[in-house]
Amino acid sequence: MFVLRSLGGMPVGDATARLHEAIDLVAGIDVSEVPTAEGLGELVEELTRCLRRLDFEFHRLLRSFEARGDHVPLGYRTAKQWCRDRLRMGDAAAATSLKLGRVLIDMPGVSSRWAAGDLGAEHAGAIAKVRTEETREAFGEWEGWLAQQAVDLDMRGLRKVLAKWRLQVDPDSGEPDRIEQDRDAHVSATFQGAVVIDGLLDAIGGAAFKTVFDGIVEELFKADWTEAKTRLGREPLSSELARTPAQRRADALVVMAQRAHVANPSAAARIRPLVVVVAGLDALAGGLAELWNETPLSARQLARILESDPDLERYVYGPGQVPIAYNERHRFFTGKLRRAIQVRDRHCTARGCDRPAEYCDIDHIEAVTAGGRTRPDNGRVACNPDNRARPHRRFHGDPDP
């Protein structure tokens, strides 16, 4: 019988048996005995920490299993084959777990925070992706800091930090001569006549495509919402709309093709790249510029865009990220003031929502009826559903309950 030394000689079977007992205790929790949302939320949060800790141990043991070659005496040529057969994992899941397990030894900061349940496999995997041959030396110095970012930020914020860190450490990682070589697109018909579309665009071309595509998706969403509201005589639920989000995205591609077909190429306006140049934001420290969708740009990429006659916007922010480059005074957030807040916030500021700012409202933090003024420090980006849900919706900057 194998012995798990870290548990003082407890047999492996006993350790896993106790783990099953603990899971049974959780399964026996009567939700009616947790009457408050706060109590149930805290329970789910603590379970998440437990799941992350257990997931770390799974990856740690899987790494040892592969490193010792234990799959060979069990009759498998690779550890991936063993995972597919014995754990019934798919190819992608098996490959991802094995790869993540292998790099844990080079990520001590990530490993310690993962083992404590402070972050999970998604965070660790995102950090591991920026560890390349070009960034290996710097990664060793910054890995602990990156792990702390994973603890402090949500996934959206972490991915943004990682993209900027990699571009600063390895400026060539975002250059056209590397990424543009990998761009491709595939359009093929099935036997039933349906069409399968797949592709990869570079950051600049992708931003131009996504700007138009997201706008059409938003148009279709508003049309579906209006139709459902008229049909039901009330505010509809998302599930009551005529199309699913995936169906709207598919229809948006068709609309793009139809509009391109009827347009006069000689008269049609060229899509001009939008470069948001921001001064005074800590997020842009290091001299990196961004596209509107927050994609960081290297100096060479920025120069390439400037050569293409882009639309340029410049906004200056003072202490506390308060925009100061505006002249208009309105009761509503319009014009330069509205745009400055959009550039600052980039997306809906409701916690857990990342709807792009261009499809959101600019909300008064302190309502006008309560004496709130139309000032930059009293404005924030809020999507329509979250704005309507006030005061029951939490926003970034709101005090914890």
Q: Calculate what percentage of the chain has a pLDDT beyond 90.
A: 38
pLDDT-based confidence at 123, cuts 50/70/90?
very high
Q: How far is CA 2 from CA 5, 12, 61, 143, 293, in A?
A: 9, 6, 14, 34, 53
| pLDDT tens, position by position, 53-63 | 999 999 999 99
Question: SS3 for 347?
Answer: strand
The winner for highest mean pLDDT among 104-118, 321-335, 357-371 is: 104-118
More confident residue, 353 or 303: 353
For residues 310 and 195, the model is more confident at: 195
Is the pLDDT at 374 greater than 60, yes or no?
yes
Taking the CA of residue 265 as centre, how many other CA atoms within 13 Å lie in the half-sphere pointing to its CB?
A: 1
**pLDDT(281) > 50:** no
Interatomic CA distance for residues 101 and 331, integer angstroms: 56
Q: What pLDDT does residue 122 have?
A: 95
Mean pLDDT taken over the chain: 81
**Per-residue CA distances from 76 to 61, 66, 80 (Å):** 17, 11, 9
Give the pLDDT mean for 16-45.
Answer: 89
Residue 251's pLDDT band (cuts 50, 70, 90): very high
Give the containing element (helix H, strand E) for 362: strand 361-364
pLDDT above 60 for 69: yes
Helix, strand, coil in percent for the chain, rounding step 5: 55, 10, 30
pLDDT at 250: 93
The Cβ of residue 336 has, within 10 Å, a number of other Cβ atoms equal to 14
Instruction: State residue 285's pLDDT score.
Output: 43
pLDDT higher at 369 or 227: 227
Q: Distance (Å, rounded) from C-alpha 128 to C-alpha 139?
A: 10
Q: How confident is the model at residue 268 (pLDDT cuts 50, 70, 90)?
A: very low
Those residues with Cβ within 8 angstroms of residue 355's Cβ, 6 or more apart along the chain or in another chain: 347, 348, 383
The region that residue 206 occupies, defined by phi over 0 for left and psi between -120 and 50 for alpha, beta otherwise, is: alpha
**Chain centre distance of CA 213:** 19
Q: Which residues contact 352 (CB under 8 A, 6 or more apart)?
A: 154
DSSP string, 262-279: HS-TTTSPP-PPEEEEEE
The pLDDT score that the predictor gives to residue 303 is 62
User: Can you give the pLDDT at residue 390?
Assistant: 75
Residue 65 has pLDDT above 60, yes or no: yes
pLDDT in tens, 197-244: 988 887 777 878 888 898 899 999 999 999 999 999 999 988 999 999
Task: Give, as one character, the DSSP assignment of residue 359.
Answer: G
pLDDT band at 162 (very low <50, low <70, confident <90, very high): very high
Alpha carbon 292 to chain centroid, angstroms: 16
- Model confidence at 144, pLDDT cuts 50, 70, 90, reads very high
Segment 283-307, tens digit of pLDDT: 334 456 666 666 777 666 666 666 5
Identify the residue with better confidence: 83 or 346: 83
What average pLDDT does range 346-372 have in this prediction?
84
